[in-house]
């Protein structure tokens, strides 16, 4: 089995290395062939493994692969833990990655950094696989940072665009905040949980620590498990872009669209969700941490949805939708419905990758114009993109029989069964979120695919639209847009094929997977739920009577009607009476401004953290660096070393007698020291 | 003396080596210069057979020969194997270089083997006299080797300096030994240890002797303030000889020190610990700081050696089995690194051109990226950058002093290795970031290229998988020290 798992993890790495280091030699075609081959091998083997887990043939595999070093009793090793949770993630990661690889052939066709791009996305796949297959915290952290690094590289892929470098720096810095918490959490685990970083050892040590407290500030006792869990969750907040660490994700859209689909929608951002699910034995022991998770998720789910309503950039709408959906998953974690969260991770990966890739296809058709106000009526010109987008949107808003319906409804049900204090608020936020989701999704859908063909109207308008984000240079060099006398064309098959292939699971996977995944005990070996304190999942299981019953039941519940209301409202606003949105905008100008400014969070962060740290940096630079370090230590040391070398050089005369003298002096000194000691003794 | 006491089997490698050397000398007499390759081949064959004999006579416990004056134990066996490999590499690397300078003679090969034989005796001796014989055999061979280049003023000067100062150091060592003999009445290390433990020895006399012994040993290692010969000899000798002096003899010297200080004078650990601390701190400081000021790369490597000896001493200072095995690991790793460093210098040198200045490495990456990469591995490893094996070597010795509570010493050594990183990385800077000024191609024999590549890549591989070698050192040390 070990060699199989190694093959899964390493074949993308091999592809990445070949494309990255020898891309210049082997050319574009070979670069994409070799990377796609690597990921395809991984994907095929992952599917085989998932099948084995679903049919109960596979056993949980937990073994070290390679010990890197042992220091003072701590072992740093690479090890694989492959169970049902890993299997699901493996399939999601490799299959979406494979689609994105194929899609990239079309999307990046003319880009000079073609081989580099393929190398990066394969490297990303490898890092993500290492993350999900890890059996210990060190490797988890390695994968965590590695995916962050590749994400950084890819957001800034067009590194000549100032907005892209700004965005990747921002993503990097915000993730540092999360990672700091994560690292502190891992530190606590290492310090208190039996001195091992292996999941199995840590989970085994946890029950004994249930009532252990630590003092962070003198005199205040904190529950160890709560502090550890919250710190670990801070890491998840950074990676999975939960409020208030979400600010990097919308900006990450500066990267090429394929990676928005792969990294910033389907896989990397779900690493936080995966991590919390993996740590379920710890989180189950701290209700406080679960409450925190509920609140953070609920805020993200609702308030990021609001922001999606006012966006005009097609990718940003999908980005905010991703944030909101990540909030849903987080809420599911807080309600102890880890399996439901993972289920939503899976369905969301398919339909959100689909939506992103479809948006990318639209962008190709519009000649890299991303403003929805210049689109409209595209369904005539891009039929495949149109249909698949519609499928994706229907799945996203939770239309019965579509995959999103099953996962999202399960999350809402799970929250309603949770007894935690924050569950009420979370439930309200999720329900309101359903309406908002439906509204912005179909706002986008109608603006892009229906209505008038607006690029023909006033071409200059879209140059001035970007007052809310700093796209001016970009517009100049990259987003040339469509001229009025052109019509968009459907994208080539390498672009549309992944759309079709992703549309299939977006429709079907919910119907087929909900029973085995959530109610079939699939995760029993990997997710631990304290059924006494958090009986939600047990109650949910009693109410479940098959996927068809869920649909009939939904007719009598709120979410479905809220979603329908959202779609209808969008239709009225943007198809029937386009004057209404403008009217609302002017009537509630302050609210609109608040949303367009994204709750002013960027400004606050910039003013407080960025400026603050710059001021601090300047202080350190002037006083610490210039005066102390440069003046005293660096130059001082250099002078000292110089003077010292001078003295030594004088001693090193080249004459034997001076060397012999030094030796004799050395002996004399030693003799003196030791005889002085003997006498003093 | 009766013949049964001789028990020659444990010394079979040394006996074979001696016979082979004599044969090689005889054969070489009948050969013309053009057929020197035969002698070379015989020498390498001898080394290979020695390694085979060494492995096949391995015992997991010490066995004695020559009336207990000679021991074959796992630690010695392992070090000897490392010395054969090192000498093998040295000869392969130096062949082309020596031929181009007209000193690739039978004497060179035979003396190299004589030096190796001396080292073998040093490693296996359990008696002050056999220790001293081994040491002198090594030293005399080295003096002669350096002086082989007899029309070079620099080389003769280096040989002369080395000889005079070496004689002084031998004097110090012998004087110290005589004090120990006076105090204990025996020259057998084991009996010395027993006498000291029994409390019958005069402590003042012992400590007096100890100071002189430590001074003599420090000279052999090249620790400050007994280091002054190192830079001059490195610079004066041909690069191949500098490489030879800096490689296998350090392995022998390490075991030599261990036998005397630990197996003989182990009871005086409190005293020699303090002396070694002074030597170690001075070596790390002066070695690293002075290396920065060097423009001659051979001198720079000489000071680097001095600082590495300081690190090696850290493991001995610990006075624990873990410390000893860490020091052993460090020595082996140091030798591997220094072989690569000098090997590259030899590769870049050619007839009529000595690669001696730092500037000579300018733009090496443009001239030949593979050799630049190998040198980069060596430099990173010497600087102690993970995942190269030099990192683990440093980690192991520093950990051993932390374990005995000498945290300040660990901090000093880390700071010193930080300073050291500067001049190692400067070499990398010259190779990768400066433009080449020399366009002549780098021509290297295929066998040297192969051995050098294996040698350098081993630094990386051992860095990824350090466990195996570290465990070997620990095991060998345990089995050899337990027997006492």
B378 and B455 in contact (C-beta within 8 Å)? no
Task: Quote the pLDDT of residue B162.
Answer: 93
Cα torsion for B340, B342, B343, B349, to the nearest 10°? 150
User: Any chain A CB within 8 A of the CB of B160?
Assistant: yes
Nearest by CB to A666, which of B225, B271, B399?
B225
- pLDDT for residue B89 is more than 90: yes
Are residues A68 and B165, on separate chains, in Cβ contact within 8 Å?
A: no
CB-based burial label for B81 (10 Å; 0-12, 13-18, 19+): middle
Other Cβ atoms less than 10 A from the Cβ of B150: the count is: 9
Of all residues in chain A, what percent carry a pLDDT higher than 90? 3
pLDDT, tens digit (0-9, with 9 covering 90-100), for B424-436: 999 999 999 988 8
Task: Quote the pLDDT of residue B2.
Answer: 63
Average pLDDT, chain A: 82
Task: Quote the pLDDT of residue B323.
Answer: 92
What 8-state DSSP symbol labels residue B353?
A: B
Task: Quote the pLDDT of residue B424.
Answer: 93
User: Any chain B CB within 8 A of the CB of A613?
Assistant: no
Task: Quote the pLDDT of residue A471.
Answer: 42
Q: What is the mean pLDDT of residues A327-344?
A: 89
Q: What is the mean pLDDT of residues A145-166?
A: 85
pLDDT, tens digit (0-9, with 9 covering 90-100), for B275-290: 999 999 999 988 988 8
Q: Which two tokens stand for residue A68?
A: 């890197």
Are residues A652 and B289, on separate chains, in Cβ contact within 8 Å?
A: no
Distance CA A433, CA A562 (A): 9
Looking at this predicted complex, what is its ipTM? 0.84
Task: Quote the pLDDT of residue B19.
Answer: 95
Q: What confidence category does residue A463 fall into, taking pLDDT thresholds of 50, 70 and 90?
A: very low
Q: What confidence category does residue A575 fall into, taking pLDDT thresholds of 50, 70 and 90?
A: confident
Are residues A678 and B207, on separate chains, in Cβ contact within 8 Å?
A: yes
Task: Quote the pLDDT of residue A458.
Answer: 55
B228 interaction partners in chain A (CB closer than 8 Å): 651-652, 658-659, 662-663
B283 and B415 in contact (C-beta within 8 Å)? no
* Angstrom distances, CA of residue A617 to CA of A173, A611, B392: 15, 9, 35
- pLDDT for residue B44 is more than 70: yes
Task: Quote the pLDDT of residue B302.
Answer: 93
- pLDDT for residue B440 is more than 50: yes
Q: What confidence category does residue A634 fall into, taking pLDDT thresholds of 50, 70 and 90?
A: low
Nearest by CB to A652, which of B231, B392, B395?
B231
Residue in chain B closest to A651 (alpha carbons) equals B228
- pLDDT for residue A353 is more than 50: yes
Task: Quote the pLDDT of residue A176.
Answer: 84
Strand residue runs (E) in B17-69:
63-65
Of all residues in chain B, what percent carry a pLDDT higher than 90? 63
User: Any chain B CB within 8 A of the CB of A648?
Assistant: yes
- pLDDT for residue A106 is more than 60: yes
- pTM over cut 0.80: no
Which of the pair, A195 or B209, is modelled with greater confidence? Answer: B209
Q: What is the mean pLDDT of residues A570-581?
A: 82
Which of the pair, B371 or A26, is modelled with greater confidence? Answer: B371
Helices (H), B148-268: 153-184, 189-198, 203-221, 229-236, 239-246, 248-257
- pLDDT for residue B258 is more than 90: yes
According to the per-residue pLDDT averaged within each range, which of A642-651, B291-300, B387-396 is highest? B387-396
Answer whether the bond into residue B171 is a cis peptide, omega within 30°.
no
Task: Quote the pLDDT of residue A268.
Answer: 85
Chain B, residues 226-265, CB within 8 A of chain A, namely 226, 228-229, 231-232
B440: region left, alpha or beta (phi > 0 left; psi from -120 to 50 alpha)? beta
Task: Quote the pLDDT of residue B262.
Answer: 92
Instruction: Find the range with the poorest average confidence among A145-154, A262-271, A297-306.
Output: A262-271
Q: Tokens 């345990």 appear where?
A: B478
Q: What is the mean pLDDT of residues A416-429?
A: 86
Residue in chain B closest to A640 (alpha carbons) equals B289
pLDDT, tens digit (0-9, with 9 covering 90-100), for B205-238: 899 899 999 999 999 999 988 988 999 999 989 9
- pLDDT for residue A251 is more than 60: yes
Nearest by CB to A662, which of B228, B275, B466?
B228
CA of B403 to nearest chain A CA: how many angstroms apart? Answer: 10
- pLDDT for residue B449 is more than 90: yes
User: Any chain A CB within 8 A of the CB of B209?
Assistant: no
Task: Quote the pLDDT of residue A625.
Answer: 67
Q: What is the mean pLDDT of residues B58-64?
A: 87
Of all residues in chain A, what percent carry a pLDDT higher than 70? 92
Task: Quote the pLDDT of residue A465.
Answer: 43
Q: Find, among A327, A386, A324, A401, the residue nearest to A355 by Cα.
A: A386
B222 and B306 in contact (C-beta within 8 Å)? yes
pLDDT, tens digit (0-9, with 9 covering 90-100), for B177-208: 999 999 999 999 999 999 998 888 888 889 98
User: Any chain B CB within 8 A of the CB of A74?
Assistant: no
Residue in chain A closest to B289 (alpha carbons) equals A641
CB-based burial label for B21 (10 Å; 0-12, 13-18, 19+): buried
Distance CA A154, CA A122 (A): 12
Are residues A666 and B169, on separate chains, in Cβ contact within 8 Å?
A: no
Task: Quote the pLDDT of residue A478.
Answer: 47
Q: What confidence category does residue A473 fall into, taking pLDDT thresholds of 50, 70 and 90?
A: very low
Backbone CA torsion sign across B372, B374, B377, B378: negative
Task: Quote the pLDDT of residue A138.
Answer: 86
Q: What is the mean pLDDT of residues A203-225?
A: 81
Q: What confidence category does residue B482 fall into, taking pLDDT thresholds of 50, 70 and 90?
A: low
- pLDDT for residue A395 is more than 70: yes
Other Cβ atoms less than 10 A from the Cβ of B353: the count is: 12
**SS3 sequence, A155-211?**
HCCCCCCHHHHHHHHHHHHHHHHHHHHHHHHHHHHHHHCCCCCEHHHHHHHHHHHCC
A652 interaction partners in chain B (CB closer than 8 Å): 228, 231-232
A671 interaction partners in chain B (CB closer than 8 Å): 208, 211
Residue in chain A closest to B395 (alpha carbons) equals A71
The domain segmentation of chain B, as residue ranges, is 3-482
């Amino acid at each position: 089995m070990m060699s199989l798992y190694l093959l899964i993890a390493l074949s993308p790495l091999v592809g990445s290395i070949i494309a990255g280091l020898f891309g210049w030699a082997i050319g574009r075609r070979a670069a994409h062939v070799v990377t796609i081959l690597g990921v395809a091998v991984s994907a095929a083997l992952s599917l085989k493994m998932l099948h084995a887990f679903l049919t109960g043939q596979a056993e949980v595999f937990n073994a070290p692969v390679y010990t890197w070093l042992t220091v003072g009793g701590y072992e740093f090793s690479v090890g694989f833990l492959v169970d049902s949770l890993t299997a699901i993630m493996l399939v999601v990661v490799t299959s979406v990655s494979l689609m994105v690889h194929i899609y990239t052939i079309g999307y990046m066709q003319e880009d000079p950094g073609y081989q580099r791009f393929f190398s990066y996305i394969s490297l990303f796949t490898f890092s993500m696989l290492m993350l999900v297959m890890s059996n210990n915290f060190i490797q988890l952290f390695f994968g965590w940072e590695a995916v962050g690094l590749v994400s950084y590289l890819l957001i800034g892929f067009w590194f000549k665009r100032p907005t892209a470098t700004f965005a990747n720096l921002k993503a990097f810095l915000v993730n540092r905040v999360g990672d700091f918490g994560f690292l502190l959490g891992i530190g606590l685990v290492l310090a208190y949980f039996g001195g091992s970083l292996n999941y199995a050892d840590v989970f085994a040590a946890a029950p004994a620590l249930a009532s252990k407290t630590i003092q962070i500030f003198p005199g205040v006792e904190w529950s160890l498990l709560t502090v550890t869990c919250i710190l670990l969750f801070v890491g998840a907040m950074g990676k999975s872009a939960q409020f208030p660490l979400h600010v990097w994700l919308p900006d990450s859209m500066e990267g090429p669209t394929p990676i928005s689909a792969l990294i910033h929608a389907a896989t990397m951002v779900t690493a936080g969700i995966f991590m919390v699910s993996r740590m379920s034995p710890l989180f189950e022991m701290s209700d406080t941490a679960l409450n925190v998770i509920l609140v953070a998720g609920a805020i993200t789910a609702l308030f990021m949805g609001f922001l999606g309503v006012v966006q005009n950039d097609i990718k940003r709408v999908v980005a905010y939708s991703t944030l909101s959906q990540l909030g849903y998953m987080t809420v599911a974690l807080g309600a102890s419905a880890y399996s439901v969260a993972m289920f939503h991770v899976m369905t969301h990966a398919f339909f959100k990758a689909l939506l992103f890739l479809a948006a990318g296809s639209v962008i190709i058709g519009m000649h890299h114009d991303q403003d929805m106000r210049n689109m409209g009526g595209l369904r005539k010109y891009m039929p495949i993109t149109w249909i698949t987008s519609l499928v994706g949107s229907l799945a996203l808003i939770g239309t019965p029989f579509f995959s999103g319906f099953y996962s999202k409804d399960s999350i809402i049900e799970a929250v309603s069964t949770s007894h935690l204090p924050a569950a009420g608020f979370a439930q309200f936020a999720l329900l309101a979120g359903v309406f908002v989701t439906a509204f912005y999704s179909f706002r986008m859908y109608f603006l892009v695919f229906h209505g008038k063909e607006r690029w023909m109207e006033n071409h200059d308008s879209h140059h001035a639209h970007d007052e809310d984000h700093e796209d001016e240079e970009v517009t100049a060099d990259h987003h040339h847009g469509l001229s009025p006398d052109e019509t968009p064309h459907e994208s080539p098959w390498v672009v549309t094929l992944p759309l079709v292939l992703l549309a299939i699971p977006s429709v079907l996977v919910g119907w087929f997977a909900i029973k085995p995944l959530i109610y079939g005990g699939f995760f029993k070996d990997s997710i631990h739920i304290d059924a006494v304190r958090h009986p939600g999942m047990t109650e949910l299981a009693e109410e479940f009577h098959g996927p068809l019953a869920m649909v009939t039941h939904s007719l009598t519940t709120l979410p479905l009607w809220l979603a329908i209301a959202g779609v209808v409202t969008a239709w009225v606003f943007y198809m029937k009476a386009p004057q209404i949105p403008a009217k609302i905008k002017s009537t509630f100008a302050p609210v609109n401004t608040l949303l367009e400014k994204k709750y002013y969070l960027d400004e606050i962060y910039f003013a407080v953290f960025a400026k603050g740290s710059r001021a601090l940096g300047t202080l350190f630079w002037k006083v610490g660096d210039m005066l102390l370090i440069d003046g005293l230590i660096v130059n001082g040391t250099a002078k000292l070393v110089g003077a010292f070398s001078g003295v030594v050089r004088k001693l090193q005369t080249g004459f034997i007698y001076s060397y012999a003298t030094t030796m004799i002096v050395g002996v004399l000194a030693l003799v003196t020291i030791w005889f002085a000691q003997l006498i003093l003794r | 003396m009766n013949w049964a006491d001789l028990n020659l089997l444990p010394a079979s490698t040394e006996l074979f080596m001696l016979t082979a050397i004599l044969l090689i000398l005889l054969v070489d007499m009948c050969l013309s210069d053009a057929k020197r390759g035969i002698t070379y081949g015989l020498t390498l064959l001898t080394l290979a057979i020695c390694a085979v004999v060494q492995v096949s006579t391995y015992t997991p416990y010490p066995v004695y020969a020559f009336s207990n004056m000679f021991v074959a134990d796992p630690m010695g066996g392992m070090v000897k194997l490392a010395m054969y490999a090192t000498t093998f590499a040295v000869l392969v690397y130096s062949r082309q270089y020596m031929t181009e300078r007209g000193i690739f003679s039978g004497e060179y090969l035979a003396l190299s083997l004589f030096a190796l034989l001396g080292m073998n005796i040093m490693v296996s001796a359990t008696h002050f006299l056999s220790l001293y014989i081994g040491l002198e055999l090594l030293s005399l061979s080295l003096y002669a080797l350096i002086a082989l280049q007899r029309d070079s003023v620099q080389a003769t000067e280096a040989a002369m300096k080395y000889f005079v100062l070496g004689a002084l150091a031998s004097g110090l060592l012998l004087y110290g030994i005589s004090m120990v003999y006076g105090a204990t009445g025996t020259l057998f290390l084991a009996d010395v240890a027993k006498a000291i433990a029994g409390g019958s020895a005069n402590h003042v006399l012992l400590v007096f002797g100890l100071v002189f012994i430590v001074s003599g040993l420090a000279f052999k290692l090249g620790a400050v303030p007994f280091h002054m010969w190192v830079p001059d000899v490195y610079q004066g000798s041909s690069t191949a000889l500098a490489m030879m002096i800096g490689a296998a003899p350090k392995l022998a010297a390490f075991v030599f020190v261990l036998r005397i200080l630990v197996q003989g004078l182990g009871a005086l650990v409190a005293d020699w610990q303090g002396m070694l601390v002074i030597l170690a701190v001075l070596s790390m400081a002066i070695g690293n700081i002075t290396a920065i000021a060097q423009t001659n790369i051979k001198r720079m490597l000489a000071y680097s050696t001095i600082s590495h000896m300081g690190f090696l001493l850290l493991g001995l200072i610990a006075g624990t089995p873990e410390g000893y095995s860490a020091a052993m690991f460090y020595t082996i790793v140091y030798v591997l690194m220094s072989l690569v460093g000098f090997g590259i210098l030899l590769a870049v040198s050619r007839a009529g051109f000595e690669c001696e200045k730092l500037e000579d490495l300018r733009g090496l990456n443009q001239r030949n990226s593979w050799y630049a990469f190998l040198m980069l591995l060596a430099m990173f490893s010497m600087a102690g950058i993970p995942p190269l094996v030099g990192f683990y070597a440093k980690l192991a010795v520093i950990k051993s002093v932390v374990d005995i509570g000498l945290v300040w010493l660990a901090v000093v050594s880390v700071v010193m290795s930080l300073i050291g990183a500067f001049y190692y990385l400067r070499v990398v800077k010259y190779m990768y970031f400066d433009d080449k000024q020399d366009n002549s191609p780098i021509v290297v024999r295929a066998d040297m290229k192969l051995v050098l590549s294996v040698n350098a890549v081993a630094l990386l591989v051992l860095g990824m998988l350090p466990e195996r070698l570290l465990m070997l050192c620990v095991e060998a040390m345990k089995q050899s020290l337990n027997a006492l």
